[in-house]
Amino acid sequence: MISIQKSGKVYQYRFEAARVNGKRKQITKSGFKTKNAAFIAGQKAYEDYQNGGCKVEGYISYGDYWLENYCKVSLKYRTIEEYSVIVNKYLKPMLGFYKLNSITSYQLNKYLIDICRRYDYSYGYFRNFVKVIKCSFRVATDILDL
């Protein structure tokens, strides 16, 4: 739900976003001259947020959760280190600010193709990217009912 408030001579909109590490997150923007302009901009921002177009924390906190609760429990030390590098260096910067339920298979495929073109990694290392994405999203769909 979008709320509109007057702050001095300008209006601002505000709405709730996904929680990060258990803390509430709100998206706010001010500087609108009229209440109607703030409401229209707030609706557009909220719609972008719901559809994944607006960068909002989501995969950032989930990637850490997945590494801590699933990888460290059942994988060997070296595999955990390799998966941590993939999550922290590649997945979080590109996918980290999107809500999990808004990331599509098209976006993931496009991202993997971009990684292949940008870096000259071996087939085995590229296979690890695919493993990390498949496993983390499989757990997300089971746990979070996405």
Q: Do residues 47 and 66 both lie within one domain? A: no
What is the domain count for the chain? Answer: 2
Kindly state the percentage of the chain with pLDDT values over 70: 92
pLDDT for residue 146: 54
- CA 39 and chain centroid, separation: 25
Summarised one tens digit per residue, pLDDT across range 50-69 is 765 434 357 777 888 889 88
Q: Do residues 26 and 74 both lie within one domain? A: no
Q: Do residues 69 and 43 both lie within one domain? A: no
Confidence of residue 6 (pLDDT cuts 50, 70, 90): very high
Q: Do residues 23 and 94 both lie within one domain? A: no
Q: Is 18 in a helix, a strand, or coil?
A: strand
Confidence of residue 33 (pLDDT cuts 50, 70, 90): very high
Q: Is the pTM of this model over 0.75?
A: no
Q: Do residues 42 and 98 both lie within one domain? A: no
Return the closest-CA partner of residue 82 out of 71, 92, 74, 93: 71
Confidence of residue 13 (pLDDT cuts 50, 70, 90): very high
pLDDT for residue 144: 61
Confidence of residue 22 (pLDDT cuts 50, 70, 90): confident
Mean pLDDT of 89-117: 83
Mean pLDDT of 124-134: 89
Q: Do residues 88 and 137 both lie within one domain? A: yes
End-to-end CA distance of the chain: 21
Kindly state the percentage of the chain with pLDDT values over 90: 28
Q: Do residues 21 and 81 both lie within one domain? A: no
What b/e string do you get for 61-83 counting C-beta neighbours within 10 Å, with b at 16 or more?
A: bbbeebbeebbeeeeeeeebebb
Structural domain that includes position 12: 3-51
pLDDT top residue among 15 and 146: 15
Return the closest-CA partner of residue 80 out of 94, 103, 97, 63: 63
Q: Do residues 29 and 73 both lie within one domain? A: no
Alpha-carbon distance 81 to 132, whole Å? 12
The mean pLDDT of the chain is: 84
Q: Do residues 23 and 63 both lie within one domain? A: no
Q: Do residues 63 and 47 both lie within one domain? A: no
CATH number of the domain within which 73 lies: 1.10.150.130
